Amino acid sequence: MTDAHLPAYTIAGWKVIGVYDLDLEKSKAACKKFSIVHEAYEDLDGLIGEASRANAVFDLAVPANKILPILDLLPERATILIQKPMGETLAEAKEIAKVCTQKNFMAAINFQLKFAPFMLAAKDIIAQGILGTVYDMELKLCTYTPWHLWDFLKEKPRMEVLYHSIHYVDLIRSFLGIPVKVYGSLARQLAPLHLAETRSSILLSYDEFTQARILTNHGHRFGTTHQESYFKAEGTKGALKITLGLSLDYPKGKPSKLEYYQIEEQVWKEVPLIGDWFPHAFIGSMSELQLAAEDPSYEINHDIEAGLQTMELVEAIYNSNATGGTTINR
C-alpha cells in the first residue's frame, strides 16, 4: 500500500478515509505519511462501517486467501478493488465471482500492469495499426527478486505464476484474447528451499501464426549487468519493445522505456513517458473502477469476468506443468 496504492492516490488527489492492517503501528505510520483523513483503525469492522457511511471504494490489498472472508463482511452494492490474484485457485476465483454477483458488488481485480503509462502507449500504437497484424508477443524476466519482503509467500504451494507472472498472463490476454492452448513448465530454486516455483516457461498458442511466450527467472543473483526485463510485440508492419524498469535491481528499479519500429522507416523510435508501473498504473485501475461505479454502462477491462478468464489461464498453466511434456525413455 505504501509503495504503490497510497502514492498513486495521493498523485490523483483522492481522499483516503482510513486504513486497517494487522499491525496497528504500520497503519499509524501510513496515516502520518500520507495525511489520511482518520486515524488508523484498530479493527476491520470500524473501517468498514466508516467507509460504508461515506460510500467509499474499498481497496483490498490482502493475500489471496483473505479475500473471501473480507468480502463476506462488506455491505451489498459496495464498490471494491480486489488485489490480484483472484484467489489462490480457480475454485476460489469462482467463489469470489459468485459472492460479488450475489451481493451486487461493483468490483474489479487490480491487474494494474495494463494501466502502466508504457502499456497504454503500446495499446494505442497497436490500435493505430502501426505494427500491422500482431502475431508474436514475448515477456522475459531475468532478475533477482527479494521474496523475503513478502513473508506470507513462504508457505504458498503456488507462487511465481500466481503472484507475479499472472500480471503478464493477464496482459497478453488483454491484447490477444484467450489462447487455444497453454503450456507451462515451472521450477523451484535450489535455495531458498521453502519457496514454491520461482522460474516459469509459459507458452500461449493461438493459431498457426500467433504465439506468446512468458519466460521468468527470479534467481539471477549475479549482479545487474545481465538482468533482463522486457515486453516485446511483433507484427506484419513493425514491432515495439518495452523495458520494464521496475523489475531491474528490484526494489530500487530503473526507468522504463518504450520503443517502436516500422519496416517502412527502418528506425527505432523512443516514446516519451510520464510515470511508470509503480505507482502510476494504480491510478488507472482505481479510476476505471470509479468511472464504472458512476456509470454501470462504462466497460472496464479488469472486471470480475476478465479476472476469472485470467485465473482460468493460470490454472491451465499449473495443470500443464503437472501433466504435460513428453517423457524421454532411454
Asked if 228 and 168 sit in the same domain, the reply is yes
Asked whether residue 207 is domain-assigned, the answer is yes
Asked whether residue 328 is domain-assigned, the answer is no
Mean pLDDT, residues 42-58 = 94
List beta partners, residue 228: 142
Sequential DSSP letters for 7-59:
HHHHHHTPPP-----SSHHHHHHHHHHHT-SSPPPSSHHHHHHHHHHTTPEEE
Q: Provide the CATH number for the domain around residue 196.
A: 3.30.360.10
pLDDT tens digit sequence for 178-235: 999 999 999 998 877 789 999 999 999 999 999 999 999 999 999 999 999 999 999 9
Of 186, 138, 167, residue with least CA distance to 277: 167
pLDDT tens digit sequence for 64-103: 999 999 999 999 999 999 999 999 999 999 999 999 999 9
pLDDT tens digit sequence for 285-325: 999 999 999 999 999 999 999 999 999 999 999 999 999 88
Q: Is the pLDDT of residue 41 over 80?
A: yes
The CA–CA distances, whole Å, from 235 to 175, 176, 195 equal: 13, 12, 38
Asked if 34 and 165 sit in the same domain, the reply is no
pTM: 0.95
Asked if 9 and 65 sit in the same domain, the reply is yes
Asked whether residue 313 is domain-assigned, the answer is no
pLDDT tens digit sequence for 235-287: 999 999 999 999 999 989 999 999 999 999 999 999 999 999 999 999 999 99
Contact 109, 134 (CB under 8 A): no
Asked whether residue 318 is domain-assigned, the answer is no
How many CA atoms, within 13 angstroms, populate the side-chain half-sphere of residue 267? 4
The CA–CA distances, whole Å, from 238 to 108, 127, 135, 232, 256 equal: 33, 13, 11, 11, 20
Asked if 108 and 119 sit in the same domain, the reply is no
Asked if 253 and 134 sit in the same domain, the reply is yes
Instruction: Give me 214's grid cell.
Output: 512468458
Q: Is the pLDDT of residue 39 over 80?
A: no
Asked if 54 and 125 sit in the same domain, the reply is no
Report how far residue 62's alpha carbon sits from residue 1's, in angstroms, rounded to the nearest whole number. Answer: 10
Asked whether residue 312 is domain-assigned, the answer is no
- pLDDT recorded at residue 32: 92
- pLDDT recorded at residue 107: 98
- The H-or-E segment that residue 248 falls in is none
pLDDT tens digit sequence for 113-162: 999 999 999 999 999 999 999 999 999 999 999 998 888 898 899 999 99
Domain region containing 246: 114-277
Strand order in the sheet with 211-217: 181-187, 199-205, 211-217, 134-142, 228-235, 238-243, 257-262, 267-271
Asked if 263 and 119 sit in the same domain, the reply is yes
* Domain count for the chain: 2
Asked if 126 and 239 sit in the same domain, the reply is yes
Asked if 48 and 76 sit in the same domain, the reply is yes
